[in-house]
Each structure stands twice: as C-alpha cells, then as structure tokens.
Amino acid sequence: MRYFFLIYALVIVFVISTFGFRGDKFKKPPIRIFPDMDEMDFVKGQKPSEFFSDGMGSREPVAGTVAMGHTVGVTAESELNGFANKETYLHTGNFNGTNYGKGFPEELELDRLENVTALVTRGQEVYGFKCAACHGASGNGEGTIKANGFVSAISNLRDSKLVEGNIYDVVVNGRGNMGQQGRDLPLYDRWAVVAYVKMLQASAKADYSNPKIKEIFDAGSK
C-alpha cells in the first residue's frame, strides 16, 4: 500500500510536469489526439491561394450565373429547357386552344437526324423514370402500379390513337387518374417523351417478319 501512494504521487507529478496545470499557456502546439478540423486550408477574402492552379483565392462565378435582380435573354435552347407557358404549339400541343396538332413543333428542328436521335434517346430516359411505373416499360399499361393494385386501369399507349399534340397535352395536364407531369418536365423533356411514345407505337406495329425491320429493332433493343 505504501508503494501505491508513492507511485500515485509520482504519476501526479509526472502528469503535471508533462502536461501542466489546466489553463497554462505553452509555446509549443498542444498535443491533439483527435485533431478534428482544428487546422485546415481556407481562403481569405481577396487573397491569393495556392489551392487552385491559377493562384486566385476567389473564384469566378459559374458560367451562366445571373446576378440577383437581373434577367437573362431567352434563347431557343433556354426556352426548350424551361417551363414557360406561352400560347404557341411548342408550349400547348394545340392550335388556338382547340385543335390538337399532329407532328412535332418546328423548334425541335427534327429535320436533322441527330436531333431526332437525341430527342428519342432523352425520351426513353424520361419515360423510364416518369411513365413506366404506370404504363409499363413497353407501354402496354401493365406497370408495377397496376400490379400492386393502386390503379386498376391504365391506358395501353401502344394502341393509343392520340396525335402528338394530344399526347403532349395529357403529359402536361394529366387526365383522369393520371396526374399532371408537366410541372416536373421542361418543354424539351415533354416532347421527348411524346416522341418515345410514338416510337413504342411504331415498334408495336412493326412487321417483324420483314428481316430488314427485325434487324433494325434487334439492333435497337440491345
């Protein structure tokens, strides 16, 4: 027991002489077992920094940044990627509020093949995350929503007789048990999914006994 007190006293002396009293000030940096984020690189306003290769601490604004209180000019591209609500066929899918249009708006410039490919490719993506759960991957109306009994009847898009402008309108505004999808999809994505629905219909009607057609569809479904 004598030794215990002796060792105890020595330990206290050792600890205090190594670490000092609480609140003491040292010249050396403290021992930190868990440094957390006590020290890290940071940028001082308007000062250079070695962190970035150009040596500037402050960064340039991201391309396309619009200062508060300013507006940007509308380009053809920004219109397609936006949610504006104008009266033209591009925005409504119909003419004069009455007749649904057949075909795609000229703004999409589908006279160029690469634009058609890009539109349908995007349409396939949009269909996958926005429509397939209800209408099924092939468009036959047998998606997981029906399989789980949430909605009993869902249109088979492969048989739909609707023209492009009308499909666009259903996508944007919804119908019956189908809710509006337009608020989540910019103009381009809406027309893209319309194009993809038309593709599904074309594939449903395709004559697979024709070897040329079979070859095209087999290549596309890989």
Binding site residues, ligand HEC, CB under 6 A: 130-131, 133-135, 145, 151, 154-155, 157, 160, 162, 167, 170-171, 175-179, 181, 193, 197
Least distance between ligand HEC and beta carbon 140 (Å) = 12
Nearer to ligand HEC, 20 or 176 (CB): 176
Residue 68 tokens, joined: 């508060």
Least distance between ligand HEC and beta carbon 189 (Å) = 9
Residue with the shortest CB distance to ligand HEC: 176
CA triplet 155, 158, 164: central angle to 5 degrees?
90
Of 159, 151, 150, 155, the residue nearest 171 (C-alpha) = 155
Least distance between ligand HEC and beta carbon 121 (Å) = 16
Least distance between ligand HEC and beta carbon 178 (Å) = 3
User: Following DSSP, what letter does each residue of 3-48 receive, concatenated?
Assistant: HHHHHHHHHHHHHHHHH-STT---SSPPP-SS-TTSS---PPTT--
Nearer to ligand HEC, 37 or 153 (CB): 153
Which 8-state DSSP code applies to residue 60?
P
Nearer to ligand HEC, 90 or 163 (CB): 163
CA triplet 170, 194, 202: central angle to 5 degrees?
120
Nearer to ligand HEC, 56 or 145 (CB): 145
